[in-house]
Structure formats: structure tokens, C-alpha cells
């Protein structure tokens, strides 16, 4: 009991010292907040959510080695749709906070259930590592979900682009018109086309902007779409037939994927049917017969 109490006191001392250091250096992050460098969720975060994001930014800003560790996160965050300059720091703060919270919870459980503090240390280390890596898994899921939404919206967007281009509009105005039309139906693709317009107005070349479109989204189909536009712009070929052919290819590919998934369904149902459904059917159909047989044979077996 004495060892447990000493371990708990040492743990509280370390946490108190860490909290004091964070409060002491809080001015560093507060200065950046006041300068307007932090734009949480494009200014849409309000109330408690904005306060939570600011807290995560402070934690990420004061964590050691933040500058070196947040730079690799920018590409993944951009693919997930988070373009704020503060997004990598906020994510790193979430990783640190999640790791600390899980380490505290599991360490406390270990202190309650075990007399030796060794189990508490092991649980705290495992919880800290798992909590630090958990936000990365959520980010990967967000990237995959957004790529799926972009690819699902692309064939319809190509149809609108074909109509606009064949009506006499330039590619830039066609992209702007498509972005406005898709704003309520496919907001993810609309925002990407809007980003293209912003970069074009900033003076970047069209080929660079289109190449950046494919790279920042991480979607294979958008990379192919950007390649089609770049090649048409480079060689001066007609854009309408190229877009119509690409839209037909995307729909054919989606239909083949649906047919493939339908053919795989029968194989995937084998294990649930045999190990979950069939035992229940056997219990319902054969259960009364087994009970009746047992009741009939019970007197003979008792002799």
C-alpha cells in the first residue's frame, strides 16, 4: 500500500509540474491566436468546440518537436479536407492529449487492481501509445471516405463540364459553373473546384493547379481527370470528347465494381450462414424433437 501511495504521489507531482510548465509557456500559443494565424475549421467553429480546438492547438504548440512532426501531416490533412494552417498542430495536440488521457485512465486502473505498480506502468505505457496512434487511424478513415465521395461525384461533374464546354465556355468558367451547381449536392468536389479557381486567380499556371488538384486529394480518379485536362490543354485537343469518354469510363468502372461486389457476396455469406444462422435453425427445428425423444426414452433409461 505504501508503494502504491508513493507512486501516486510521484505521478501527481509530475503531472502538476507539467501543467505548470504548460501554463508558463501558454503565452507563445496565445500570441499566435491573437495575431490571427489560427483559423479553426475556416472560422466555423463556435462555442465549446472552438475552445476545445484552441486547447488542442495550445497542447500541440507546446509539445516538444512539434515543428518537425506536423509537417508530414499536412498532406494527409489536405487529403481529408482540412486546409487550415493550424490543422497539423491541432491534430498533433489531439494525439498528445489522447495519449495522456488513456495513459492516465489505464494507469489508474492498474493502481486500483494491482498491489505492484509495475502493471500500472505497463498499462499506462500501452494506453499512451495506443492513444497517440488512434487519431491517425481516424484520419486515414476520413481520407478514404472523402476520396470515395469525390470519385462518386466525378461522373456527374464531368457531364456538367461537357455541357458547359460544348456551350462555348472556357475551362475556367466551366469549372466555376460546375462548382456552383454541385455546392449543395456534392460539397466535397465543389470545394475542390473552388480551390482550383482560387489558385488560378492567384496567378498559378493551369497545369500546376490541375496537378495540385490530383495530388492534394489523394484520389486516383481525380489524378486521371487532372491528367486529361492537362493533356488537352497542352496539345490543344478538343476537351468535350475527352471528358465525355472519361465520364463513360468512370461509369463503366463503377458498374464493374458493383458486379464484382455482387459476385463476392455469395462467398462472404458462407461463414455467417454456417456459423451463425444454421445453428439457430437447427436449434429451432430439431430442439423439440430432441426434447420429445428424451422424454420418451427417460423411463427406459431409468430402469
**Between residues 5 and 249, which one has the greater pLDDT?**
249
Domain boundary (91, 123, 141) is at 141
pLDDT at 104: 82
**Between residues 36 and 120, which one has the greater pLDDT?**
120
Nearest to 146 by CA among 198, 77, 97: 77
Domain count along the chain: 2
Long-range contacts of 47-54 (CB under 8 A, 24+ apart): 53/90
Q: Are residues 123 and 165 both part of a single domain?
A: no
Q: Within a domain: residue 18?
A: yes
Spell out the residues 6+ positions from residue 75 whose beta carbon is closer than 8 angstroms to its own: 216
Q: Are residues 183 and 124 both part of a single domain?
A: no
**Quick check: 136 and 92 in contact, CB under 8 A?**
no
Nearest to 63 by CA among 25, 20, 104, 106: 25
Q: Within a domain: residue 276?
A: no
pTM over 0.85: no
Give the whole-angstrom CA distance, residue 186 versus residue 195: 14
Q: Are residues 184 and 118 both part of a single domain?
A: no
pLDDT at 93: 82
**pLDDT at residue 73 above 50?**
yes
Which range, of 143-152, 165-174, 268-277, 293-302, averages the lowest pLDDT?
293-302
Q: Are residues 8 and 135 both part of a single domain?
A: yes
Q: Within a domain: residue 223?
A: yes
**pLDDT at residue 39 above 80?**
no
Q: Are residues 20 and 77 both part of a single domain?
A: yes
pLDDT at 17: 62
Q: Are residues 125 and 153 both part of a single domain?
A: no
Which range, of 134-138, 139-143, 192-196, 297-301, averages the lowest pLDDT?
297-301
Three-state DSSP at 115 gives coil
- Model pLDDT for residues 106-130, shown as the tens digit of each residue: 877 777 765 667 777 788 888 888 8
The DSSP code for 65 is T
Average pLDDT of span 15-32:
54
- Model pLDDT for residues 160-169, shown as the tens digit of each residue: 888 888 888 8
**pLDDT at residue 205 above 50?**
yes
Give the whole-angstrom CA distance, residue 116 versus residue 113: 9
Q: Are residues 20 and 96 both part of a single domain?
A: yes
**pLDDT at residue 209 above 70?**
yes
Q: Are residues 132 and 167 both part of a single domain?
A: no
Q: Are residues 122 and 8 both part of a single domain?
A: yes
Give the whole-angstrom CA distance, residue 143 versus residue 134: 15
**Between residues 108 and 189, which one has the greater pLDDT?**
189
152-170 as b/e: b if 16+ CB within 10 A: ebbbbbbebbbbbbeeebe
Q: Are residues 107 and 21 both part of a single domain?
A: yes
| Domain containing residue 201 | 146-266
Q: Within a domain: residue 288?
A: no
Q: Within a domain: residue 208?
A: yes
Q: Are residues 13 and 126 both part of a single domain?
A: yes
Give the whole-angstrom CA distance, residue 190 versus residue 154: 10
Which range, of 5-9, 100-104, 188-192, 218-222, averages the lowest pLDDT?
5-9
**pLDDT at residue 41 above 50?**
no
- Model pLDDT for residues 47-63, shown as the tens digit of each residue: 556 667 777 777 776 66
* Distances from the Cα of 264 to the Cα of 152, 254, 258, 275, angstroms: 21, 15, 10, 18
* Distances from the Cα of 42 to the Cα of 37, 147, 293, angstroms: 12, 21, 72
Domain boundary (141, 164, 185) is at 141
Amino acid at each position: 500500500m505504501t508503494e502504491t501511495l508513493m507512486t501516486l504521489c510521484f505521478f501527481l507531482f509530475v503531472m502538476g509540474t507539467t501543467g505548470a510548465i504548460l501554463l508558463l509557456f501558454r503565452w507563445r500559443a496565445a500570441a499566435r491566436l491573437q495575431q490571427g494565424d489560427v483559423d479553426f475549421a475556416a472560422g466555423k467553429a463556435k462555442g465549446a468546440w472552438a475552445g476545445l480546438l484552441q486547447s488542442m492547438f495550445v497542447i500541440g504548440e507546446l509539445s516538444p518537436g512539434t515543428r518537425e512532426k506536423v509537417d508530414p501531416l499536412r498532406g494527409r490533412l489536405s487529403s481529408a479536407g482540412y486546409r487550415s494552417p493550424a490543422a497539423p498542430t491541432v491534430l498533433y495536440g489531439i494525439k498528445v492529449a489522447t495519449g495522456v488521457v488513456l495513459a492516465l485512465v489505464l494507469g489508474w486502473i492498474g493502481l486500483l487492481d494491482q498491489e505492484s505498480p509495475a502493471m500500472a506502468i505497463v498499462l499506462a505505457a500501452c494506453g499512451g501509445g495506443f492513444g497517440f496512434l488512434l487519431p491517425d487511424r481516424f484520419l486515414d478513415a476520413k481520407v478514404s471516405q472523402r476520396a470515395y465521395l469525390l470519385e462518386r461525384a466525378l461522373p456527374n461533374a464531368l457531364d456538367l463540364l461537357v455541357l458547359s464546354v460544348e456551350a462555348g465556355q472556357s475551362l475556367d468558367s466551366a469549372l466555376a459553373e460546375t462548382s456552383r451547381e454541385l455546392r449543395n449536392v456534392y460539397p466535397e468536389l465543389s470545394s475542390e473546384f473552388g480551390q482550383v479557381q482560387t489558385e488560378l486567380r492567384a496567378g498559378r499556371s493551369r497545369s500546376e493547379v490541375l496537378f495540385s488538384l490530383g495530388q492534394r486529394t489523394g484520389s486516383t480518379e481525380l489524378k486521371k481527370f487532372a491528367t486529361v485536362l492537362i493533356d488537352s490543354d497542352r496539345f490543344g485537343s478538343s476537351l468535350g470528347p475527352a471528358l465525355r469518354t472519361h465520364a463513360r469510363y468512370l461509369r463503366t468502372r463503377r458498374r464493374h465494381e458493383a458486379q464484382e461486389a455482387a459476385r463476392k457476396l455469395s462467398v462472404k455469406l458462407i461463414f455467417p450462414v454456417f456459423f451463425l444462422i444454421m445453428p439457430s435453425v437447427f436449434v429451432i427445428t430439431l430442439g423439440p424433437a430432441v426434447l420429445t425423444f428424451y422424454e420418451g426414452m427417460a423411463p427406459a433409461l431409468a430402469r
